[in-house]
Amino acid sequence: MFGGDYNPEQWPEESWVEDMQLMREAGVNIVTLNVFSWAALQPGEDVYDFGRLDRVMELVRENGFMVCMATSTGAHPAWMARRYPDILRTDFGGMRRKFGGRHNSCPSSPTYRKYAPLLAGKLAERYREYDNIVSWHVSNEYGGACYCENCERAFRIWLREKYGSLEELNRAWYTAFWGHTFYDWEEIVLPDLRSEHVDERRSMHPGITLDYRRFMSDAILEGFELEYRAIKEWIPDAVITTNLMGFYKELDYQKWGRKLDFVSWDSYPSNEASYAEIAMGHDLMRGVGGGKPFALMEQTPSSANWLPFNALKRPGVMRLWSYQALAHGSDTVMFFQMKRSLGGCEKHHGALIDHVGTGETRVYREMAELGKELEALGGVFLGARTPAKIAVMFDWDNWWALEHSIGPSQLLDYPEEWKRWYTALREMNYDVDVIAPGDELSGYRLVVAPLWYMVKGEDDRSVRRFVKEGGTFVTGFFSGIVQENDLAVSGGYPGKLRDILGIWLEEWDALAADYENAFVYQGHTYPAYRLCDLVHMEHAKQVDEQGYCEDFYRGFPVVTKNEYGKGRAYYVATASSGEFYRAFLSDLCAEAWVEPVLRTPEGVEAAGRENENGSFVFLLNHTEEEKWVFFPWDGEELLGGDVLRAGEEVMLAPRGVMVVRK
Amino acid sequence: MFGGDYNPEQWPEESWVEDMQLMREAGVNIVTLNVFSWAALQPGEDVYDFGRLDRVMELVRENGFMVCMATSTGAHPAWMARRYPDILRTDFGGMRRKFGGRHNSCPSSPTYRKYAPLLAGKLAERYREYDNIVSWHVSNEYGGACYCENCERAFRIWLREKYGSLEELNRAWYTAFWGHTFYDWEEIVLPDLRSEHVDERRSMHPGITLDYRRFMSDAILEGFELEYRAIKEWIPDAVITTNLMGFYKELDYQKWGRKLDFVSWDSYPSNEASYAEIAMGHDLMRGVGGGKPFALMEQTPSSANWLPFNALKRPGVMRLWSYQALAHGSDTVMFFQMKRSLGGCEKHHGALIDHVGTGETRVYREMAELGKELEALGGVFLGARTPAKIAVMFDWDNWWALEHSIGPSQLLDYPEEWKRWYTALREMNYDVDVIAPGDELSGYRLVVAPLWYMVKGEDDRSVRRFVKEGGTFVTGFFSGIVQENDLAVSGGYPGKLRDILGIWLEEWDALAADYENAFVYQGHTYPAYRLCDLVHMEHAKQVDEQGYCEDFYRGFPVVTKNEYGKGRAYYVATASSGEFYRAFLSDLCAEAWVEPVLRTPEGVEAAGRENENGSFVFLLNHTEEEKWVFFPWDGEELLGGDVLRAGEEVMLAPRGVMVVRK
Amino acid sequence: MFGGDYNPEQWPEESWVEDMQLMREAGVNIVTLNVFSWAALQPGEDVYDFGRLDRVMELVRENGFMVCMATSTGAHPAWMARRYPDILRTDFGGMRRKFGGRHNSCPSSPTYRKYAPLLAGKLAERYREYDNIVSWHVSNEYGGACYCENCERAFRIWLREKYGSLEELNRAWYTAFWGHTFYDWEEIVLPDLRSEHVDERRSMHPGITLDYRRFMSDAILEGFELEYRAIKEWIPDAVITTNLMGFYKELDYQKWGRKLDFVSWDSYPSNEASYAEIAMGHDLMRGVGGGKPFALMEQTPSSANWLPFNALKRPGVMRLWSYQALAHGSDTVMFFQMKRSLGGCEKHHGALIDHVGTGETRVYREMAELGKELEALGGVFLGARTPAKIAVMFDWDNWWALEHSIGPSQLLDYPEEWKRWYTALREMNYDVDVIAPGDELSGYRLVVAPLWYMVKGEDDRSVRRFVKEGGTFVTGFFSGIVQENDLAVSGGYPGKLRDILGIWLEEWDALAADYENAFVYQGHTYPAYRLCDLVHMEHAKQVDEQGYCEDFYRGFPVVTKNEYGKGRAYYVATASSGEFYRAFLSDLCAEAWVEPVLRTPEGVEAAGRENENGSFVFLLNHTEEEKWVFFPWDGEELLGGDVLRAGEEVMLAPRGVMVVRK
């Protein structure tokens, strides 16, 4: 599927025919429609007007396009905001918003909860016969948060369901601290700048903030579910999604993934992003969808508009990144947008059809070429899965808990630490699955849990079983510190991981931004950043040569290994450089009998997918130089049609792509 | 006219006589009175008390001073704020202000609109017989903006008058974007942090923000006009102004200039400002007054108080900058202030009479010397005009439109880009007029339109005519992109300028802050900053040697020239360094037969004025070294009385000044 | 006294016994109880529940601990905030807070003023028989400010009492500036972002802001006094304090000191703090207590949690800094906290008993060793006074006035300038008292008044008398500029200090952040920072060699000396480096016959105390190297028991401590 957002409502009807011709000629076969049409479709409280959309749908069908049908509830109408101000959000500082922008509906608003699913249902009812609608797209880029009184009330209800009693809530929130004991549910106020927060990050009661984040993610998800059900009522077999946003802090996508028929997402890396950073988003998104293929719903054909400096995507990059999405599990290549708007804040955002209105632009030509190429490939790797033997754990609760704690270091950043581990694996061409704590691990050989600060409930169990049965597990500093509600563990860190890792963590030192300690691993000296854990051996053995090189904890172990059952559990007591993670993880992979997809020169990525049509290896040259790749096996290159022989070395052009079937 | 703000209401009456003696001895002949006396003049809603002002006016007349009479409506009384809170502003984040500070009246407040002109009228009535009142000074440094509900209502009325129908408004604002369609005027909310803004700059609907800026500038101007009319009712031949502030973003001074009897302004450069930056303000202000002489209403005699570091003006600088104002068209040298206040936030701001209260200070002595010098000069160049053959276009709408767009580069700054062109011309001693788009161009030989992003209505016409008739026109990157309401042009940039320039602009690349490309012009390599336009030649020819030196658009033309009618239209596809603008503009001037005022060593400015008394050249040595200036013609130096002969080389002392009559 | 905060309410009762055993074993003999128990003690408006506290008190007595009994009014209950929102504060931007955090009661709230003393009284009544309560601890770390309408009303009453009439207030506030004249008390609004402030610092009417600061400090102090009196009603001989915070801007501790039975404070330096910075806090706190010994109420045993990077205190540092507190006049060594909380924002803050719950940690061991050492010392230097011959003036009004003025330099920082002088004296081992303006000076030989910008009332008198009678006085740039209400002095700076110093200060130049001038003193060249005063000699003589080295005021004197009566008054016209202050102050000390406590190698601090048991010298090695100290007199080392002979050189271990009785 090749195409993307098309907003005919922004243009005179007489231009639609020409637009569609330009799209067709570019190889587009799917359009996302109706993303921001609420105000148009429902001009008044009891008035609906589908006339224009009807005409669009007819024309689209005539032109042979598939449709991704949006419910257009991503921005509510102005009249609704005026008549029912409860639909407007209140921000983190208590400022009640007025009409404007988007992402603007309060998830607890009765008005929103009434009229959004009503519209979704009406759309499903009206267009249910259109068999070119291949998926439904609820709202748009859900996000943000609300801090209004309706949300406060809904939060209390959510808490009552979660905790049952105030005694239990007082215990979970440790309200004895700073005399916060609640004697009535109504006394609970939501955490924001007016109550518990020093600033956006630091909360004086992190447990309360943590629950509000959970509640808010759930509340917004409920809005999705209301529309989901309204559509299914009319079209039981509708395929429904909403476009996610990768590493997006506000929403616990692992919970969301279970409610979507398939995952789709919008990928907007800057030109400066490393290829591992881009891949990371794809792998996370595939993970929240349970490993199934996902849809790349949006990317920009050329420049964005919201970056500080919106550089053009260099020639070839749009194609390269499109294939990278496919390599990591996407079954679509879609764009925002088909035609560039004349007004509004996105008029400087790239599109297939630029303001000039013709196909005579560089961007159009590159897209049309890609469109043809994809058409030629057919659906050969559609539905293919990633055959990963490594799992990397990611968890929104850990992100939030670290974000809102005060101390030990302001530079402690969950995704940043996570990225260190992921990047090393990606740069060595190990395919990985991104999993959640508690997920089944039996299919993997190596499990990595970066910065596993909060170990919830019995999430240690699957790890313990995995290691006992022969798996290799590794985690790092500041892990096993707190439980589900951000209450510290008693009796010694790393709490439930203590027996698995065989160490006791007594205390940690926070290093200033520009300061580093060091340690030696396999004869090389590596830096130590951020936090230095001071650990004592219980059953583990020291793996690094001599512990920290400096300071009063010189000699304290940095890398430890615990033989546990048939497996091994490693601990790395500090943060380090990419060189370290590559050296260390490569040793672990070797020990765990995990092979990379292919060994390639620096800057060339290799990623695999498998389906009934075979085993595919995507080769992506992210550099501006020619690179030579050595093939240890026979294969067939699908883009050029070449046959590759084992032992052959093949040139990959700058920003070039190969798709090889083994 | 030599003098400035004097606030006798801050001092015991018995000190007035001594103050006036000190002022007289310093050569002061004009005082600005009554700037902040509203609370004193109107102690209650129905009570006016002019007793003290009467006594001040008598004494001032006895002492032979002229008066610039302020209406004192720049700050409303505390009692008024308490009784009529509608007079208080609401800020950009929705915070309703309380009483305090200044610039504090909401322009839409019924209270303000009633009582401000009432006071102005009473003052005019009472003091109309004083023939030493040479001008009226309405309010003070108008500025800021208000976001209250009264302004929201007034905005809707303004919109209704502008657009007539909601259909037209929805079209002009492109409300189909993000589903913003308005079905009722009452649904429209003003754009601020509560509605359309991400931050002070970035607006999600720039068209709405643009109109609000226009409305707010108009609304504040209406406040001026109400007072203006109230004064004229009593004194039909009153000469009325208000003190403007140079490059002040909030107010469209080109619109204001048409409502003032003469332009006056307050010039507060920091010690670090280049002389071109200071000159720029004077030329802009002369331009908004239609080229007529203006009044320098305020400058500091020594230090300011509101800078991060308030250094003293070095000896000689106050005199030098005073003459620079005269050189660029001022007919006055006035100061804030005559006597330094003991309290309030300006007690650390310089004055003629310092806290010590005597004339025994460096600052007093320097001012007294200047006073005598100006007295000796007489009014010889009063009323003189600047004989500019070059016009540089400036436009508040373009400033606002660029400011509030999201993308393509956060470093795109209209005045900053404008300054590059102006500075090059100023540094080479070309006198320029600052004009508005659409202004008559027939008197000029060269017209420069820096960053002409938004081409409104038929503003291209005068340029087209100018070029056809033999003029030289030049504009730069990112021009001709949008129309009046920030809607992009269809059919190819630079829109209406396309035929004049003979190019098609396909796309642009935004360069990160620390990145530059390069190009070669006349054998020298110059840097390319900010944006690189990728243009295609239609009728134009490439002027630079080989296009961009780097990146995938290497070779794309940077400087183009289009022969059009009898004239020429140039385009510069990127931003560059001062060296480039000087080289390029000097070539253009030569081609257009424009001569500089005089060729001088670096750091010495030459500027011209002409009236019935002759043709004057001001020579200003902005350096701390002696400079030798070569005179190609005979002349008479007015400050020293020397006669200059053609071919003579004359020494200009450090920070020295010469005024030469040819 | 050795111990600190213990919060048993955060733990199950069954753990208390074990906690107390661990504390006892560590040598703890005092616990601070009940700091955050308001919600627990008063679960409803008419319900009090002391059951748990009764049990704690019993157990604590059984275990032989002394008690510092907190009134727990530092954080009000949630139910109270819900029922009586007047107890919630409004912040500087006008945001009304909700329940959350701490420091949260509005000082003008009728609810707070009713229920806080009521609780304090009930506690006093109930526990008055416990003779192990050695002191009462009202609220906790008072601070912050409120800007609500109740405070606004209370401010007006405070003003009416201070000024008597609006005429006097209008004069004191110089309301003629910007037309602020008030005709009715109700017109006065409090100064915040909604009224007079540009930002947190800059006030458009600094006189108003200054009075609000004074009012707010007084209002919060009244809250203390209400509780104080409620306790005294039941226990007339109760010893009452509240924990202060050193250089804390919000509260005028010199006024507070007079209301406390003894001063206690919380010292939380970062690891990077110089030892002089830490000592500075102790000396200030001793000063606000009139020179009497104070209590170190809180310090962290190991890491803090609220720093950007919370490094561990290195081994030995906790002991070293504990002795430093004793050296500067503390009679206690107390900590926050005895047991680390599991939840809330302070769970990452160090404690005697860590989350692991045992005594097997480095931190516990270090504390237990210190506990034993202090026990062995006995109370030998309890009650000892510091025999200082030097006084350094500090004044909150000056801090506030400089903070809220606009100009002359944004880098002008009162404590920063103050620290330059203090640090030089401390680094040379001169004991100093920190005094307030107007304090009796007869016991001193040298008086230093850094940046004495505001000279209030007759505060010059004690200085004039002191100098006349033979004392040495020194002050620096920008002194004697304004009077009590931030009104500038007329007739020449430095106003009332002019005759004492024998100079006239004409003007000053503000230097940019990265710029410096220079001057020569005793043959060495030193830098000039921040401001350069331009002074003229009246009776003084120039002490520096040649004045400023650069700029147009080259040659203007920098250091001046005026023989006045039997004494001398010095002026230093700019800010300079530590090298200068050490050289200059050492000369002044020599001239004034003041001797250091002891001459020591760099990094070794010596400080003295004296009581009936003798004269004690504390030696503190703040470096990580061994240092050798030469003793010019005989003495007895109290920690090791060694006898020291005059002429002996003794090794001080890295971070080592000696306490020597002469």
- Three-state DSSP class for residue B457: coil
For strand A2-5 and strand A333-335, is the pairing parallel, antiparallel, or unpaired?
parallel
The two three-digit tokens of residue A65, written as one number: 């396009």
- Alpha-carbon distance of C174 to B223, in angstroms, equals 28
Q: Which of A303, A304, A99 is CA-nearest to residue B205?
A: A99
**Residue range B455-472: mean pLDDT, rounded:** 98
pLDDT digits (tens, 9 = 90+) for B491-516: 999 999 999 999 999 999 999 999 99
From the list A174, A407, A506, which residue is nearest C342 (CB)? A174
Indicate yes or no: CB of B78 within 8 angstroms of CB of C180: yes
**Cα-flanking dihedrals φ and ψ of residue A651, to 5°?**
-85, 135
Indicate yes or no: CB of B194 within 8 angstroms of CB of A100: yes
Dihedral class, residue C290 (left if φ above 0, else alpha if ψ from -120 to 50, else beta)? left
pLDDT for C391: 98
B315: closest chain C residue by CA: C552
Residue A103 has pLDDT above 80, yes or no: no
Indicate yes or no: CB of B488 within 8 angstroms of CB of A343: yes
- Three-state DSSP class for residue B596: coil
Which chains pack against A, by 3+ Cβ pairs within 8 A?
Answer: B, C
**Residue B211 CA, distance from chain mean position:** 21
**With contacts defined as CB-CB under 8 Å, which chain A residues touch B410?**
308-309
pLDDT for B46: 97
Cis peptide before C337 (omega within 30 of 0): yes
Using CB atoms within 10 Å of the CB of residue B648, give its burial: 0 to 12 exposed, 13 to 18 middle, 19+ buried. Answer: middle
Element (H, E) at C619: strand C614-621
Q: What is the distance in angstroms between the Cα of C358 and the nearest Cα belonging to chain A?
A: 8
Interface test with C, best of B342, B361, B362, B364 (most C CBs within 10 A): B342
Residue A313 near residue A322, CB atoms below 8 Å:
no
Catalytic residue among A196, A227, A298, A403: A298
Residue A433 near residue A287, CB atoms below 8 Å:
yes
Residue B216 near residue B146, CB atoms below 8 Å:
yes
Residue B133 has pLDDT above 90, yes or no: yes
Asked if C179 has any chain B CB less than 8 Å from its own CB, the reply is: yes
Asked if B153 has any chain A CB less than 8 Å from its own CB, the reply is: no
Q: Is C141 a catalytic residue?
A: yes
Q: What is the distance in angstroms between the Cα of B571 and the nearest Cα belonging to chain A?
A: 19
C39: closest chain A residue by CA: A179
Residue A640 has pLDDT above 80, yes or no: yes
Residue C557 near residue C535, CB atoms below 8 Å:
yes
Q: List chain C residues with pLDDT less than 70.
A: none
Residue B522 near residue B583, CB atoms below 8 Å:
yes
Residues C549-575: b if buried by 16+ CB within 10 A, e if exposed: bebebeebbbbbbbebeebbbbbbbbb
Residue A130 has pLDDT above 90, yes or no: yes
pLDDT for A191: 98
Asked if A15 has any chain B CB less than 8 Å from its own CB, the reply is: no
Exposure on the CB side of residue A386, measured as CA atoms within 13 A: 36
Mean pLDDT of chain A: 97
**Cα-flanking dihedrals φ and ψ of residue A31, to 5°?**
-125, 140
Residue B103 has pLDDT above 80, yes or no: no
pLDDT digits (tens, 9 = 90+) for B287-299: 999 999 999 999 9
**With contacts defined as CB-CB under 8 Å, which chain C residues touch A175?**
39
Residue A325 has pLDDT above 80, yes or no: yes
Q: Which of B218, B215, B214, B192 is CA-nearest to residue B205?
A: B192
pLDDT for A451: 98
A189: closest chain C residue by CA: C99
Q: How many CB pairs under 8 A join B and C?
A: 176
Indicate yes or no: CB of A101 within 8 angstroms of CB of B204: yes
Asked if C195 has any chain B CB less than 8 Å from its own CB, the reply is: yes
Using CB atoms within 10 Å of the CB of residue B154, give its burial: 0 to 12 exposed, 13 to 18 middle, 19+ buried. Answer: buried
User: DSSP letter at A512?
Assistant: P
Asked if B93 has any chain A CB less than 8 Å from its own CB, the reply is: yes
**Residue range A584-596: mean pLDDT, rounded:** 98
Indicate yes or no: CB of A490 within 8 angstroms of CB of C345: no
Alpha-carbon separation of residue C462 from A95, B563, C455, C467, C638 (angstroms): 53, 84, 12, 9, 40
From the list A9, A305, A354, which residue is nearest B408 (CB)? A305
Residue B22 near residue B326, CB atoms below 8 Å:
no
- Alpha-carbon distance of C125 to C138, in angstroms, equals 15
Q: What is the distance in angstroms between the Cα of B251 and the nearest Cα belonging to chain A?
A: 23
Asked if A171 has any chain C CB less than 8 Å from its own CB, the reply is: no
For strand A567-572 and strand A559-564, is the pairing parallel, antiparallel, or unpaired?
antiparallel
**With contacts defined as CB-CB under 8 Å, which chain C residues touch A167?**
none
From the list A183, A408, A482, which residue is nearest C305 (CB)? A408
Q: Which of A235, A249, A136, A171 is CA-nearest to residue A485?
A: A171
pLDDT for C571: 98
Asked if C184 has any chain B CB less than 8 Å from its own CB, the reply is: yes
The two three-digit tokens of residue C304, written as one number: 């803090």
Sorting pLDDT into bands at 50, 70 and 90, what band is A104?
confident
pTM comes to 0.97
Residue A19 near residue A9, CB atoms below 8 Å:
no
Asked if C652 has any chain A CB less than 8 Å from its own CB, the reply is: no
pLDDT for B104: 81
Length of chain A: 662
Which residue bears the tokens 């709202």?
Answer: A139
Asked if A92 has any chain C CB less than 8 Å from its own CB, the reply is: no
Q: Is C373 a catalytic residue?
A: no
The two three-digit tokens of residue C310, written as one number: 């919370």
For residue B274, the tally of other CB atoms under 10 A from its CB is 15
pLDDT digits (tens, 9 = 90+) for B361-402: 999 999 999 999 999 999 899 999 999 999 999 999 999 999
The two three-digit tokens of residue B329, written as one number: 């068209």
**Residue range A68-94: mean pLDDT, rounded:** 97
Q: How far apart are the first and last CA of chain C?
A: 24
For residue A109, the tally of other CB atoms under 10 A from its CB is 25
Q: What is the distance in angstroms between the Cα of B179 and the nearest Cα belonging to chain A?
A: 5
Asked if B234 has any chain C CB less than 8 Å from its own CB, the reply is: no
The two three-digit tokens of residue C433, written as one number: 């008292």
**Residue range B138-156: mean pLDDT, rounded:** 97
**With contacts defined as CB-CB under 8 Å, which chain A residues touch B198?**
101
From the list C40, C78, C302, which residue is nearest A187 (CB)? C78
| Helix axes of C362-377 and C317-327: crossing angle, nearest 10 degrees | 30
pLDDT for A234: 98
**Residue range A350-363: mean pLDDT, rounded:** 97
- Three-state DSSP class for residue A597: coil
The B residues from 378 to 417 touching A (CB cutoff 8 Å) are 405-411
Q: Which residues pair with B294 in a beta bridge?
A: B330
pLDDT for B101: 94
pLDDT for A617: 98
Q: What is the distance in angstroms between the Cα of A361 and the nearest Cα belonging to chain B?
A: 7
